[in-house]
Amino acid sequence: MKKIFSVLSVFLFSISLYCGVGKYKVFKKDKYIGAINYYEVNEKIYFDLNDAVKILNARKDVYSVSSRVIIYLNGKKLNISKDSVNYDNLESINVSKPVIIRASRYFVLSDIFINPLFSKVFEIKVDLDNKSKIMGIYEDINVTGIKFFSYIEKTRVVIYMSKELKYNTDVVGRSVILTVFEGSYITQNENLNVSDGNIKDINVSQDKKTLKVAINMGENYGSYDIFTLKDPDRIVIDIKPKVEAEENRIGKVIEPTSSASQSSATFVLPDKIKKNYDKKVIVIDAGHGGKDPGGRVLFGKKEKQINLEIAKKVYELFKKDPNFEPVLTRDSDEFIPLYERSKKANDLKCDIFVSIHSNAHKNKNENGYEIYFLSEKATDPWASDVADYENASVEYEDKVFDYTGAALVLHSLARNEYINEGSKIAAYITKEISKNTPFANRGIKQAAFYVLRGTYCPGVLVEVGFMTNKKDKANLDNSSVQEKVARSIYKGIAEYEKQHK
């Protein structure tokens, strides 16, 4: 009996070495807002689920059988299962024991909240001082990304912001120091390795009042320019090489390294240098095809056929114009995965990408055309539904491509450089379609279409009309109306190029 008691005592003592309970004080910036209970086991901190939901002004669903927890925050979902965490279907990570239960209370692993993905997706940053047992919450994440783009003639550093912020710059030795006042970034500290000759690396540091971005120069550094852009708000720093170093710096832009060595906020654009400077490459994408018929139809032609017929007409118009070099992603009834369409455009170093589709709705009275350009957030719920509908083409793909993984996150970040130009192209095409076709104008909208997210050029997606509307469908099937739509797309893009040379 004494032996059993002795073994039990040792067991209980060993547990006490690795377990602990207590509270973290919680601050929003400098204001104390309460406390959150924690449970520590094997040097891992778990927060009380009910406290966490209250502190974050969120709500939750708990599935006791599977120990699955869903936290709803800022219109998005944090899905925590037995061995993984999914950040609003953007990316999943494998986590050992993300949830534990103690005395009928659920505790969630603290690492889930301090992961940079949490800040990016939910736009709330959580910092922990485990020594002082203090949690800091920053809700106003107004600097959403810091990226660099290496070109032959310069290296561009872009600070993406959700609103306009004041800043200044100082040169200290061989470093340009950018101070963003009241800037709040998604991570506390970050280092971006560039090493392209112009820039050695970029160090990002955050304090309570400012964000500092230190751009440490490489051996070829000559000068820098700084300016701002709108829609979205950006601070842009162009680092230029010394004149004698420009030709020898790099033969092409730097290819991205593996995701392990890149920052999650970094992507380098492919080589956009073309041998033929006279012609603009226009990639025309006929949506769906082959085993993917597109949306349901009331009568007549399938969507994949309508899209292809209009795309071919657009192609022929551009082919007659010596200023353009048009290319079709498909010229027959074949299935092409979305990622291959984007890759084809990138391989051709496209200047403009236009994807042609036909719409559908359960309400047969819905009619008209709408034009989309890229955004990670949809303009409205309908825009989100349209994106989901078009993105559903991935279900037909045999090869697995990670549309929601880190690679796609990087693609979408790089695409931000072209969002503003995409909106302008959409405006020019809208003007022409409204003037020359029978389709009603439903407006210019934004949504996260996979086929646009993967292309490195300004792009738009045209939903020509509704196949589920009797009048629209008759027009969609009509060759002369298709010709009017094609000519409107051509004229819109041609006018955009004329005005933005």
- Residue 447 pLDDT level (bands cut at 50, 70, 90): low
Q: Is a pLDDT exceeding 80 seen at residue 219? A: yes
Closest CA to 19 of 94, 92, 115, 102: 102
Taken as a whole, the chain contains a residue count of 501
Q: Under a CB-based contact definition with an 8 Å cutoff, are residues 38 and 135 in contact?
A: no
Give the C-alpha distances (Å, rounded to integers) separating 398 from 285, 291, 330, 401, 458: 20, 11, 18, 9, 28
Signed CA dihedral, 322, 327, 332, 333: sign only: negative
Bigger pLDDT: 405 vs 380: 380
Task: Give the per-residue pLDDT at 75.
Answer: 87
DSSP lists the bridge partners of residue 371 as 444, 462
CB count within 10 Å of CB 379 equals 16
Q: Is a pLDDT exceeding 80 seen at residue 105? A: yes
- Residue 400 pLDDT level (bands cut at 50, 70, 90): very low
Task: Give the per-residue pLDDT at 10.
Answer: 41
Q: Give the list of residues 6+ apart from residue 17 with CB closer than 8 angstroms, or none.
A: none
Which of 4-8, 21-25, 322-326 has the weakest average pLDDT? 4-8
Q: Under a CB-based contact definition with an 8 Å cutoff, are residues 475 and 465 in contact?
A: yes
Residue 347 has φ and ψ, to the nearest 5°, of -60, -35
Q: What is the pLDDT of residues 36-72, one digit of tens each?
A: 999 999 889 999 999 999 999 999 999 988 889 999 9
- Residue 120 pLDDT level (bands cut at 50, 70, 90): confident
Task: Give the per-residue pLDDT at 450.
Answer: 53
CB-based contacts of 80-83 (< 8 A; 24+ apart in sequence): 80/108, 80/112
User: DSSP E strands: which ranges in 182-314?
Assistant: 189-193, 199-206, 210-217, 221-229, 233-241, 280-286
- Residue 449 pLDDT level (bands cut at 50, 70, 90): low
Task: Give the per-residue pLDDT at 175.
Answer: 94
Which of 40-54, 227-241, 484-498 has the weakest average pLDDT? 227-241
Q: Catalogue all structural domains in the chain, each as residue range(s) with its CATH number.
A: 18-138 (no CATH), 143-249 (2.60.40.3500), 280-499 (3.40.630.40)
Q: What is the pLDDT of residues 325-377, one digit of tens each?
A: 999 999 999 988 877 888 888 888 899 999 999 988 878 899 999 998 775 44
Q: Report the amino acid identity of residue 362.
A: K
Q: Is a pLDDT exceeding 50 seen at residue 33? A: yes
> Which pTM value belongs to this model?
0.45
With H, G, I as helix, E, B as strand and everything else as coil, classify residue 132: coil
Q: Is a pLDDT exceeding 70 seen at residue 404? A: no
Task: Give the per-residue pLDDT at 187.
Answer: 75
What does DSSP assign to residue 406?
Answer: H
- Residue 263 pLDDT level (bands cut at 50, 70, 90): very low
Q: Is a pLDDT exceeding 50 seen at residue 261? A: no
Task: Give the per-residue pLDDT at 152.
Answer: 64
Helix (H) or strand (E) holding 46: strand 44-48
- Residue 299 pLDDT level (bands cut at 50, 70, 90): confident
Closest CA to 353 of 392, 311, 319, 304: 311
Bigger pLDDT: 67 vs 448: 67
Six-digit token pair at 315?
């192609």
How much is the mean pLDDT over the chain?
Answer: 80
DSSP string, 282-293: EEEEE--BTTB-
- Residue 244 pLDDT level (bands cut at 50, 70, 90): low
Q: Under a CB-based contact definition with an 8 Å cutoff, are residues 346 and 411 in contact?
A: no
Average pLDDT of the segment spanning 24-28: 92
Which of 1-5, 13-17, 107-111, 323-327 has the weakest average pLDDT? 13-17
Q: Give the list of residues 6+ apart from residue 242 with CB closer than 8 angstroms, or none.
A: 220, 221, 222
Q: Give the list of residues 6+ apart from residue 97 with CB closer than 8 angstroms, or none.
A: 44, 83, 109
Closest CA to 281 of 29, 22, 40, 458: 458
Percent of the chain with pLDDT over 90: 45
